[in-house]
Structure 1
């Protein structure tokens, strides 16, 4: 008979024994606390699958101890001896440890508990032995107990003493542990596991459907953050690979609907109040892999890589030239972010831990399990007969592609990219919108891996399918994820030029930026920003009406809008400047009301407009009410780059007022952009 799935909180790191010591209590209050604690243990349900025998033994002893403490409370003993009080204090610590042991058998990952079962079982033996010792030194005659209760205390002591001496691991638990380790070894040697043996293991652990397996994977992912030892982390990642593979071959794909219901119980980073120090200064999103650049500033690796690959050699936050482009991992901050995510119940992507030492992969079991899972799903997708079945498989690939780089590589190597292209057409979107969303999102997740960007670009049907979704996707979500895919692919310079030559890409992004909801607008704008790094593409953007489009969306997403305008004006010449004529007032307003990043980009854009457009543009700026006061405020409160640009604007306005040439090179100098807003594919 199966059991209903349960959602378990991640196992918490066990505190030291000293953490259990409460403030000094009077003898009676201490006994009251012991009575309550023993009742709490008595009410616990023994785990059904692992260490059941040990847990049952402790629960029974707690029930008997409750009788002892209840009698002590009823006796109205005036005072306890110091030795008795010391015994009770130590007993409180032992009972707390007993309670935590049983809760640990319920909470967290069953697979990890199984592999640690000898250590945990030894902890059961230790607390049993400690309880026996305390009862042995407790002077029962001083407690004025009835003979029956005194006999109960003696019985508990004898049973604990006997159990601690003759303690042995339950043979069934030990045998199950050996089977799992053997299975991992077979996978490491590229031997496909016997499905009947897999099923027996998972049934024994109570993992009897896709949902319970998904929850087990999440528990293992949370357990990684509890580990300091690299070997333990590698073993947990291998277990995750085993559970993923087993879930697919034994129970099929997860139901997207059930996953959606389950995930509502979790927070996302966007719903939580993310501390400012945990956000990337470029993307403003929660950092998953924080790194430090040469200036000492910290950014998310994905964001700063895109910034550097786009040709910038400055620090986005400070504007300083980078002495080098080496990225140093900020491990301390990453650990803090991981701990915060675990406390907030926010998923946090873990490292694959598939490292190479002397050319040999140290976690081959995890890698081979991932390969087997990807191959199984891709083969199943290639023979899928129904649209609904294909949707379930593609959704499973989407989840797998989001997990880590090894999974993205294995899915692509198994041949998924051409197959996914089949489900991007408008006919699919009209029949089953979720299938189109899942397919384009899977491609988006795959594109995070550098090698996969080239694979996607070289698969014409898939690339054209992504562009078709961008232009005519069934939902805004599908269009937004197609735009995010374009952004990801354009991180490579050669791909950026090729995508920028496609009119359908330009028009699709422009339409989405103008007409989509805010989240989709942002996806489109950051893709446009990336494409604007190529001068030829800027000309096409200008022809397509980029400046007019920016004027429509600048009030909704000012930071990225103004940064795009800055890039376009810098690379577009007078044609762009002439069209920017009507934006000067909006830029002046943003100088006063925008964020630091927006004010900085607005000031830089105005400098370029004045340089390219000459006196006509300067005169439009000069007649704005209060413009000099706004510039002076920026000189006092802006970033270092914003202050430099504000000073340049002020000199230009004064030369214009004096009737002098405003375009003298000594007055206006060009500098590189100092910040942009970048979308991390999700």
Structure 2
């Protein structure tokens, strides 16, 4: 694995030290700063795992420097007017000391130990370069101006000698560890399983000896990807992530100190924190209102979560869900700036952000050969455990959770899990008496369903679809039911499957019950699935028979956008029966025109136009009886979106023709519209 020498150090930089050297700083201030920073460095402990000898050597030198500056400060009254060359030398020395402190802290602080290990040559070279810089500055410093005591001058000469004789040093033990890592990655590329004893030894030397420390290392490596500028370095980091994930699952499993309840923190992946925290509006997907994991920009300039907008488009829609505009194309552009902001916000609030891993790989970097083979080996190990049937419930829960995480990561992982036969094994636990295990099982199937080939498997494998539907109807928790509904929505991305699902009474009843009775987040998942099903004309009729209009009435207060959008689709596809069923909501739709969001107003005005055109004069008369209707329509014609203005103008024409006794024209216009469709 080639390593770029310019990669480290780039993170956790302090403010530029030149801010301390502004004109208002006197010579005394400068000397005091030099004494303080050299004392600070001398008090640092060397890093525990890597670069211990390099750091210890330069810390000892800075300890001697602090004594020199302390002696200089005693003579401060005689040093007020140092020569410009001496001042410049001191200023440069401050900058070098600042760099030394930052380098040692970067090697000591929390961060990826494996990536640090990969940089041993350039980092060791940086220690050597800084030592040579100190030597140069001490050599050119005019010693007569300093008036050092004899003992202190000897110390100065000692530091000069040590710096001059310093050699670039790479610790042999650290170099061995690096070679071991590279050797293991090469073996994995060749589909050779790494030696587990060597893995244990390697990870122990780096301070990773349990599942929790491996999870921390994975998070740091994922952060490290954002710090790299070239694709080769990013790809190298992805390889290391694959190795750590393999080690965590195969060697340590759920071995953290809280293994019996390890999932308590990790289960807060999607909704648990959504209801408890005030997520910035720009971080929520306009479709699901959940925290976006992979924000992408569509042709209209709006941003959505990739999974949500892909499923929307695959469901047969060619419009922007937020604006209603027809999409000029369906290309999706990653919004990397927003993704970085979301990841930063999640770290600050201690929210797991596995969402940085998406269909493009890890943080947008495709899996390379080593990472892919490591993923295959890990998944094979997990499925072997799951298929044995000998695990206690807590271990089964851990295995399924790990599969859930892999299924969320990228398309390659989803393909590996599906091809390895995971779905029949997961079906066993959809009816589990353990709520968390049921949640993990159905969520894993949901994540797998993003891949087209896995949609086919879920629909065709015996018991898979029925298991998901049963969770939707009788799941132990709202979260399990909501993820079952989300799975139905995902499967609707295939037109043939949408028709099949729409013919199942249990699916329609389950979604309507969840939408009506569930908490807001769960209800929203059900509504999104209902909207996808309503796109099929036959299914729209079944939804009306099942009571979708009454459900819309019940949820319109909490989720108006979703409710009104479903109503628009149903009256458009469901025929006259749907018009009649929706007619008693005319008053509520008019209220929405006054108080709703732009998106809600668009759907509400479009729904009213359809009801009046398809329903005839009786429905127009009911609308006309609302005294404020014309004023509301005029307002929308002036301030609404482009689509709202068009629909408002159409509704105004309908009302005017009805008032003039030209009801036949309305029906004629409707007939022409149907013919054009």
- TM-score under structure 2 length normalisation: 0.89
Match of 2:652 among 634, 650, 653: 650
| Alpha-carbon offset, residue 501 of structure 1 | 1.1
Q: What SS does the aligned partner of 1:511 have?
A: helix
Q: Quick one: structure 1 residues 341 and 472, their matched pair in 2 at CA, closer, same or farther if it must change by over 3 Å?
A: same
| SS of 1:45 mapped into structure 2 | coil
> Which region of structure 1 is more displaced relative to structure 2, 188-197 or 449-458?
449-458
Residues 615 and 352 from structure 1, CA distance in 2 versus in 1: closer, same or farther, beyond 3 angstroms? closer
2:121–2:170 contact (8 Å) kept in structure 1: yes
For 1:13, the equivalent position in structure 2 comes to 11
2:162 to 147, 155, 159: 159
Matched, 1:405 2:407: no
CA distance in structure 2 between the aligned counterparts of 1:224 and 1:69, rounded to whole angstroms? 41
> Residue in 2 aligned with 1:329?
333
In the alignment, the residues of structure 1 paired with residue 38 and residue 264 of structure 2 have an alpha-carbon distance, to the nearest angstrom, of: 40
SS at match of 1:208: coil
1:52–1:264 Cα change, 3 Å: farther
Give distance in 1, aligned partners of 2:552 and 2:266. Answer: 39
Q: How far apart are the structure 1 equivalents of 2:226 and 2:469?
A: 39
Aligned residues: 647
Q: How does 1:533-682 map to 2 (within 5 A)?
A: 533-661=535-663, 663-666=666-669
Name the residue aligned to 1:231: 232
Instruction: After TM superposition, give the deviation of residue 41 of structure 1 in Å.
Output: 2.3
Change over 3 Å in CA distance of 1:328–1:541 after alignment to 2: closer
Alignment of 1:310-329 (within 5 A): 310-325=315-330, 327-329=331-333
Residue 196 of structure 1, CA deviation: 0.6
CA distance in 2, matches of 1:566, 1:438: 35
Q: Is 1:349 matched with 2:356?
A: yes
CA 1:515/1:193 → structure 2, altered by over 3 Å: closer, same or farther? same
CA distance in 2, matches of 1:388, 1:548: 42
Match of 1:363 among 353, 368, 378: 368
- 1:418 paired residue number: 424
Alignment match, 1:120: 123
Query: Structure 1: how far apart are the matches of 2:19 and 2:346?
Result: 28
- CA distance in 2 between partners of 1:508 and 1:317 (Å): 27
Superposition pairs of residues 251-290 of structure 1, within 5 angstroms:
251-253=252-254, 255=259, 257-258=261-262, 260-261=264-265, 271=277, 273-274=279-280, 276=282, 280-285=285-290, 287-290=292-295
Q: Residues 402 and 594 from structure 1, CA distance in 2 versus in 1: closer, same or farther, beyond 3 angstroms?
A: same
Q: Using a 3 Å threshold, how does the CA distance of structure 1 residues 669 and 175 change in structure 2: closer, same or farther?
A: farther
Deviates more, 1:12-21 or 1:607-616: 12-21
Deviations 1:298-330 (A, max 9, x none): 5443333223322233444554444444x1534
**C-alpha separation in 2, matches of 1:584 and 1:390:** 52
Deviation digits for residues 197-232 of structure 1 (CA, Å, limit 9, x no counterpart): 111111111111000001100111111111121111
Is 2:53 the counterpart of 1:48? no
- The equivalent of 2:510 in structure 1 is 508
Task: Give 1:528 deviation, angstroms.
Answer: 0.7
**Quick one: structure 1 residues 336 and 479, their matched pair in 2 at CA, closer, same or farther if it must change by over 3 Å?**
closer
Distance across 1 between alignment mates of 2:373 and 2:268: 32
Question: CA–CA distance in 1 between the matches of 2:263 and 2:100?
Answer: 35
- The 1:264/1:485 distance shift into structure 2, 3 A limit, reads closer
Alignment of 1:5-404 (within 5 A): 13=11, 22-24=20-22, 25-77=25-77, 78-106=80-108, 107-163=110-166, 166-253=167-254, 255=259, 257-258=261-262, 260-261=264-265, 271=277, 273-274=279-280, 276=282, 280-285=285-290, 287-295=292-300, 298-325=303-330, 327-330=331-334, 333-338=335-340, 341-342=343-344, 344-345=346-347, 347=353, 348-350=355-357, 363-385=368-390, 386-404=392-410
Q: Deviation string for 1:359-397 (max 9, x for gaps)?
A: xx9821111000000000000011142222211211121
Residues 519 and 286 (structure 1), Cα distance of their counterparts in 2 relative to 1, 3 Å cut = closer
| Residues 405-414 or 31-40, more deviating | 31-40
User: Structure 2, unaligned stretches of length 5 or more?
Assistant: 1-7
Asked if 2 retains the 8 angstrom alpha-carbon contact of 1:21 and 1:89, the reply is no
Point out which structure has higher relative CO (alpha carbons under 8 A, 6+ apart). 1
- In structure 1, distance between residues paired with 2:37 and 2:649: 70
Match of 2:435 in 1: 433
For residues 16 and 323 of structure 1, the distance between their equivalents in structure 2, rounded to whole angstroms, comes to: 46
Residue segments in structure 1 that go unaligned for 5+ positions in a row: 1-9, 356-360, 672-682
C-alpha spacing 1:407/1:19, structure 2 compared with 1 (3 Å) = farther
